[in-house]
Chains A and B, each alone.
Chain A
Amino acid sequence: MKRRTVLGGMAAAAAGTLATPLRAAGDPLKVGFVYVGPIGDLGWTHEHDQGRLAVEAHYGDKVETFYQENVPEGADAERVLTQMCLSGAGLIFTTSFGYMDATLNVARKFPNVKFEHATGYKTAPNVATYSARFYEGRAVIGTIAGRMTKTNKVGYIASYPIPEVIRGINSAYIHARKVNPDVEFVVVWVYTWFDPAKEGDAAQALIDQGCDVVMQHTDSTAPQAVAKEAGNVMTFGQASDMSAYAPWPRVTSIIDNWAPYYIRRVGEVMDGTWQPAQTWEGIAEGMVKIGPMSERLPAEVRAEAEALIEAMRKKEYHPFTGPLNKQDGSPWLAEGEVADDGTLLGMNFYVEGLKGSIPS
C-alpha cells in the first residue's frame, strides 16, 4: 500500500511540469541570489541574505526570491545563473567578486534578465555593479584603536592582498596614527575569508606579539573568542555586529547593510527604470553601518568616533584626504586632496608608516 502511493506519486509528479519561465503582467518578479558561502548566523553571506529577506518583507507578494548557497566561483556559477534564468528570474544578485566573468557570460545570453554583481568592475547593458565603502568603517575603528591601545601595537587579520583589503588596512592605519603617532600595525595574511581555525591562530599570534587590539577582515568570530580568552584585548565585529561578544572584547562593528540598495534596485526593475550603474555607497547612504558602541569605551573616545561618523554621513570628510605619502615615501595626495575612486578601487600600495610589504 505504502509503496504504491509512493510510486503513484512519483508517476504523477513525473507527468507534471514546473512553472513556465515567462513572466506575465501581475506575476511576482522573481529575484535570485547567488551566495559564495552558507547563510549561517553571521558574516558576508548572512548579511546579503538579510537584504533578501528585507526585499521580501518590503514587497510581499509582488516578489518571489530564491537563492543558492555555497556556489563555487567559476564554471559552477555560470550553470547556476543559467538555471536561475531558465526558471524565470527577472533580476539576479551575484554576491561575490569571483562571479564576475560568469555573470557577464550569462548576461549576454539572457539580455532581458538584469544582473547585479557585488564588488566587481565590469558592467554591461544588463549588468550593474555595487559595493560598499567599508574603508569608512575602518576609519572609525582605526580611530578607536589608536586611542585605546596601550601597547601601541594593533593586530590586523587580513584575508587576501586585494584592493578591498589593502584599502581597509590603510584607512584604519591612517586614522589610528592620526590620534596616536606611535601606533604600529602588525598585519597577518590568512588567505581565507572564513576559517575559524586559521583566524583564531592568527589572533593568538598577534596577541603573543603584544597586540592589544585585533582587527579582522575575515568572517568568523574565532578572533573574538581568542581575544575574550586573553582578557585585555579589544576587537571589532566584521560584516555582522557580532554582538555576542559585546561589550568586550567587541567594542563596535562594521556592518554590511545591503537592504536599502536591494529594495531600491528591485523596485527599479519593477517599474522599468533600472539602469546599469556602478554603485559604491558608504555610511552616508546607509550601506555601511557602525554597530552600537560599547560602554567600555571612554565617553570621549565614543564622542570622537561618533563625530567622525557624522562627518562622513554628511560627506564633509573623506578618509583618504591628503597630505598622504605612499609607503616608499613618494607623495600620493597633496594637502587637502581627496583620493579618486579609480585609485582606491585598484589600491595596491601601503601608505607611509605601515611596516612590511603586501604579498604578491
Chain B
Amino acid sequence: MIRLERRPEPSRAWTAATPILAVALTMLAGGALFAALGKDPVAAIRTIFWDPLFNEQFAAYSRPQLLVKAGPLILIAIGLSLGFRAGVWNIGAEGQYIIGAICGAGVALALYPAESALIFPAMVLAGALGGFLWAMIPAILKTRFNTNEILVSLLLVYVAEQLLASMALGAMRNPEGGGFPGSRNLQQYPSAHNPELLANTGMHWGVVAAFLAVIGAYVLLNRHITGFHIRLAGEAPKAARFAGVRPNALVVFCFGVSGALAGLAGLFEVSGPSGQISIDFNVGYGFTAIIVAFLGRLHPLGILLAGLLMALTYIGGELAQFMLGLPAAAIQAFQGMLLFFLLAVDVLTNYRVRLGRGEVAR
C-alpha cells in the first residue's frame, strides 16, 4: 500500500528536481502520444527539443527565435510570480498585455510620421502605464470591495480583446490599408520600431527588459523588505500580519508590477516582432506565462529557464508539425502535459511516499 506522509517542511531537493522530472515524464508520455498517432516518437521528441537548437538547417535561425518567443513569456511570468508568491492571483495578464500594446502603439500612431528619438521611450512609458492601469481595476476592486481578483482580472481579458478589435477596425485602422482591419506597421516607422539590436541574435528591447526583470525580481525577493513581505504573506499569512504587512498595499503592489510588466511585453511585441495592432494581436502569452511562472517554481532564475523551455516547445512543436505532420492539437496536448506533470510530481515536494501499511487514521 502506498501512502503519502506530509513532510515537516517542503523538501529542497524535490523543489529543484520536480521540474526536471516533469520534463522527463512529459517526454515519455508525449512520446507515447506521438507513437499512438503513428509517428516515430524518438524523431518527434528530437524535432521538438533538439532540432531548434542544433539542427544545422534550422538552428541558426531558430536559436535567436527562442529569445523572441521567450522574452514576453519571461517578462510577464516574472511579474505574475510576485503575486502568486503572495497569494495574489492575477490571471488577466493577457488583457494587460493587450492594453499595454494599444497604449504604446497609440502614442506612436498619434505622432506618425514625426521622427524623434523620444518617441520610443514615450511608447515604453505608455505601454507600462496602460498595463498598470488595467491591472489596477481588479486590484482596487479587491481592496475596496473585496471582489475576487481571479474572476475580475480574467474577465477583463475579454473586455481588452473587444477593445483591441475596436481599435484594429476603428480608431487605429491604417488609413492607407484599403479598408482592411489593422494599424500601420510600426516596423516601417523607424522612430517607433523596436528592432533586433544585434543582427541574428533575436535580441530586442523586450528581451533586454525580460533579463532586467529577472535580475530585479531576484534582488527584490532576496534583498528587499517588500520581497520579504511578499514571501511572508504567501507562506505565513498570520505571521505576515504581525510583521506589519498591509495586505491591501501588497495586492496593489503585486498587480501594479505584474500589470506594468505585461503591458511592457505587449508594447515591445507590437512595436517589434508583431508590428501592428490587429484583431488577433494577442496569442496567449499572458496565459502561457502562468505555466511558465509555475514551471519556474516562482523563482526568477527558474522562470528564465522555464520561459526558454516553453519557447523551445513552441518552436520545436512548429517544426514537428510540418516536418513530421503532427497535428497542432497533439503539440498543445504535449505542452499541457508539462504543467500537468509538474503539478502531479509537486506532491513529492510536500509529501513523502511511504510503502507499507499505514497507521490507523486518528
**Binary flags per residue of B247-290, CB closer than 8 Å to A gives 1, else 0:** 00000000000000000000001001111101111010000000
Given A74-B281, A80-B318, are A17 and B328 neighbors across the interface (CB < 8 Å)? no
**Binary flags per residue of A8-32, CB closer than 8 Å to B gives 1, else 0:** 0110011001101100000000001
- Tell me, yes or no, whether A359 is within 8 Å of chain B by CB: yes
Least CB separation from A163: chain B residue: B179
Residue in A18, A67, A75, A348 whose CB lies within 8 Å of B55: A18
Chain A residues 78 to 122 lying within 8 A of chain B, measured CB to CB, are 78-80, 82-84, 86-87, 97-98, 101, 105, 121
- Tell me, yes or no, whether B178 is within 8 Å of chain A by CB: yes
Given A14-B50, A17-B56, A68-B322, are A348 and B179 neighbors across the interface (CB < 8 Å)? yes
* Interchain nearest-CB distance for B157 vs A (Å): 15
Inside 8 A of A67's CB, which chain B residues have their CB? 321-322
- Tell me whether B278 and A68 are in contact (CB under 8 A): no
Please report the C-alpha to C-alpha distance between residue A80 and residue B274 in the assembled complex, in whole angstroms.
13
Identify which of B10-18, B58-66, B85-93, B127-135 touches chain A: B58-66
Least CB separation from A8: chain B residue: B42
- Tell me, yes or no, whether A317 is within 8 Å of chain B by CB: no
Chain A residues 316 to 344 lying within 8 A of chain B, measured CB to CB, are none
- Tell me whether A161 and B169 are in contact (CB under 8 A): yes
Inside 8 A of A86's CB, which chain B residues have their CB? 57-58, 61
Given A66-B323, A73-B278, A74-B280, are A83 and B318 neighbors across the interface (CB < 8 Å)? yes
- Tell me whether B169 and A360 are in contact (CB under 8 A): yes
Please report the C-alpha to C-alpha distance between residue A14 and residue B321 in the assembled complex, in whole angstroms.
19
Please report the C-alpha to C-alpha distance between residue A32 and residue B327 in the assembled complex, in whole angstroms.
15
Please report the C-alpha to C-alpha distance between residue A329 and residue B81 in the assembled complex, in whole angstroms.
58
Chain A residues 17 to 52 lying within 8 A of chain B, measured CB to CB, are 17-18, 20-21, 32, 38
- Tell me whether A160 and B169 are in contact (CB under 8 A): yes
Could you say which interface size class chain A belongs to? Answer: 35 or more
Given A66-B325, A69-B327, A121-B178, are A83 and B276 neighbors across the interface (CB < 8 Å)? no
**Binary flags per residue of B139-181, CB closer than 8 Å to A gives 1, else 0:** 0000000000000000000000010010001100100001111
- Tell me, yes or no, whether A6 is within 8 Å of chain B by CB: yes
- Tell me whether B274 and A83 are in contact (CB under 8 A): no
Please report the C-alpha to C-alpha distance between residue A151 and residue B273 in the assembled complex, in whole angstroms.
51
Least CB separation from B60: chain A residue: A86
- Tell me whether B274 and A346 are in contact (CB under 8 A): no
* Interchain nearest-CB distance for A267 vs B (Å): 22
- Tell me whether B55 and A17 are in contact (CB under 8 A): yes
- Tell me, yes or no, whether B352 is within 8 Å of chain A by CB: no
Least CB separation from A66: chain B residue: B322
- Tell me whether B315 and A97 are in contact (CB under 8 A): no
Least CB separation from A37: chain B residue: B328
Inside 8 A of A161's CB, which chain B residues have their CB? 169
Inside 8 A of B187's CB, which chain A residues have their CB? 101, 105
- Tell me whether B283 and A345 are in contact (CB under 8 A): no
Residue in B43, B54, B181, B283 whose CB lies within 8 Å of A72: B283
* Interchain nearest-CB distance for B187 vs A (Å): 8
Inside 8 A of B327's CB, which chain A residues have their CB? 38, 69
**Binary flags per residue of B36-72, CB closer than 8 Å to A gives 1, else 0:** 0000001101100011001111100110010011000
Please report the C-alpha to C-alpha distance between residue A100 and residue B165 in the assembled complex, in whole angstroms.
18
* Interchain nearest-CB distance for A63 vs B (Å): 14
Given A14-B46, A18-B55, A87-B322, are A191 and B181 neighbors across the interface (CB < 8 Å)? no
- Tell me whether A68 and B321 are in contact (CB under 8 A): yes
- Tell me, yes or no, whether A70 is within 8 Å of chain B by CB: yes
- Tell me whether B274 and A121 are in contact (CB under 8 A): no
- Tell me whether B179 and A162 are in contact (CB under 8 A): yes
* Interchain nearest-CB distance for A40 vs B (Å): 10
* Interchain nearest-CB distance for B323 vs A (Å): 7
- Tell me, yes or no, whether A263 is within 8 Å of chain B by CB: no
What residues make up the interface of A, taking CB atoms closer than 8 Å to B?
6, 9-10, 13-14, 17-18, 20-21, 32, 38, 66-70, 72-76, 78-80, 82-84, 86-87, 97-98, 101, 105, 121, 160-163, 191, 345-348, 359-360
User: Could you list some 19 contacts between A and B, CB below 8 A?
Assistant: A10-B45, A18-B51, A38-B328, A67-B321, A68-B322, A79-B65, A83-B322, A87-B57, A97-B180, A98-B279, A98-B280, A101-B185, A101-B276, A121-B178, A162-B169, A163-B179, A163-B180, A347-B179, A359-B169
Instruction: Give me 19 other A-B pairs in contact (C-beta within 8 A), A14-B54, A75-B275, A86-B58 excluded.
Output: A6-B42, A10-B45, A13-B43, A13-B50, A14-B46, A18-B55, A20-B57, A66-B322, A73-B278, A74-B273, A74-B283, A75-B68, A75-B274, A80-B318, A83-B62, A101-B275, A160-B279, A161-B169, A360-B173
